[in-house]
Amino acid sequence: MSDPDLVTYAIWFAFGCVSLAQVMAMVRLILGPNTADRILALDTMTLNAIGLIVLLGLAQGTQIYFEAALIVAMLGFVSTVGYCRFVLRGDIIE
Amino acid sequence: MARFRRALLPHPLLTLLLIVTWCLVSNSIALGSIVLGAILGVLIPILTLPFWPDAPKALRTARMVGYMGVVIWDIVVANIAVAWIVVTRANPAMRSTWVVVPLDLRTPEAITVLAGTITLTPGTVSADLSDEGHALLVHALDAEDPDAVAREIKDRYERRLKEIFE
Amino acid sequence: MTATLIIDIATAVSLVIGAVFTFVGSYGLLKLDDPMKRLHAPTKAGTLGVGSLLLGSILAALGRGEPSLQEVLIVAFLFVTAPISAHFICKVNLHRRSCDTPPAPVNDTTWSTLDTPPTGAPKPS
């Protein structure tokens, strides 16, 4: 890399932003005030977690975290739908 | 020959999608992964055939690509607009309303794509479909005139989807 | 020489854009005051934010000289599933009546989420 400093600074900036975003989503998860907000906060935390995993892979210069990010994405979607189904129908699989 | 092709490849686009996905998952375009992807791409559509009783009619692929270009452009532009509204505007100053969009589309696939497009485009979220499927309920974050939002959705996306799907 | 510099700059720019949008998404989640308004911030900015971070990852892999497109899978998955999650959370809001009551639809009688059997009636199986 010809200019490693630029990308390194960008990665650290992104780490800061995404971590703050994760904390804010967690505050919303604690505050509530109702079920839909908590589901939404969990969904957002999953998205931010994917971002953090990707940034970790970038900072270490490897591709091995790709599967982890993909699995977190899939689990996050399925759990969001599962929570919503439970609230809507009182049951997940009828 | 045509019947043989339909028996072996009931959904050619799904087969292509599976091959591409397999190559992306294994992160190589070597011959081995393409062949394994092709085997999966032939087997999975045949095994899941009972779940897809009626195949969608031939789609206009060129128009689909054009539609995706329009949607990606709108996602980027409207994302910046919504981020600006979220950061700068105080809560009471946001005129968020419900918008009712009457639907001309009839096929479920087209309505699904329309609802997904509305949600992906920032500023609007599709919330619900009416019980007979003739209207879509959309929530707008900041809309001066709800009718203008409904008109724009119908003019910009629904007209194009009608050309693609129906 | 210049090509790697351009790739580095593009990587840094897309990382910064993605980080800012992710931040704004969660900031909106915390700031907005109505459940339906809150739904707007993260499902949008979050998706573009993470999409841009993954674009940065693709570009960085290109800059390292080992191009890979695996991240495209995650982006495609997120873009397909984000509307479905948002739609389900909308349905929860409508079902729990935790938002303003929407206006009646134009041609039909009611919205499908609000179309529940009267209380006491047996649940349709």
Report how many domains make up chain B.
Answer: 2
Compute the mean pLDDT over every residue in chain A, rounded to the nearest whole number.
85
- Would you write out chain B's pLDDT as a tens digit for each of its 166 residues? 667 766 777 777 788 888 888 888 887 778 888 888 888 888 888 888 777 776 666 667 777 888 888 888 888 888 888 888 888 877 777 777 888 888 887 777 788 888 888 888 877 888 888 777 788 888 888 777 777 777 888 888 888 887 777 6
Any domain includes B110: yes
Any domain includes B141: yes
What range does the domain containing B14 cover? Answer: 2-51
Token pair belonging to C98: 């935790």
Q: For residue B2, give how far its alpha carbon lies from the nearest alpha carbon of chain C (Å).
A: 32
Any domain includes B47: yes
Q: What is the pLDDT of residues A8-18, one digit of tens each?
A: 888 888 899 99
Between chains, do C96 and A51 touch, taking CB under 8 Å as contact? Answer: no
- How far apart (Å, rounded) are the C-alpha atoms in residues B126 and B119? 6
Any domain includes B56: no
CB-CB neighbors (< 8 A) of B131 in chain C: 108-112, 115
Any domain includes B149: yes
Residue among C37, C103, C108 whose CB faces B132 most closely: C108
Any domain includes B87: yes
**pLDDT score at B21:** 87
Any domain includes B151: yes
Residue that wins the pLDDT comparison between C117 and B144: B144
My answer on whether B45 and B70 are in the same domain is no
My answer on whether B101 and B68 are in the same domain is yes
**All structural domains of chain A:** 4-89 (1.10.287)
* pLDDT surpassing 90 at residue A19: yes
Any domain includes B111: yes
- How far apart (Å, rounded) are the C-alpha atoms in residues C119 and A79? 29
**pLDDT score at B59:** 65
Place of tokens 């906060």: A41
Name the band, by pLDDT with cuts 50, 70 and 90, for residue C121: very low
The ipTM, to two decimals, is 0.83
Q: What is the pLDDT of residues C51-77, one digit of tens each?
A: 888 888 888 888 777 777 888 888 888
My answer on whether B45 and B68 are in the same domain is no
Question: Would the CA dihedral through B40, B43, B49, B51 be positive or negative?
Answer: negative
DSSP B137: E
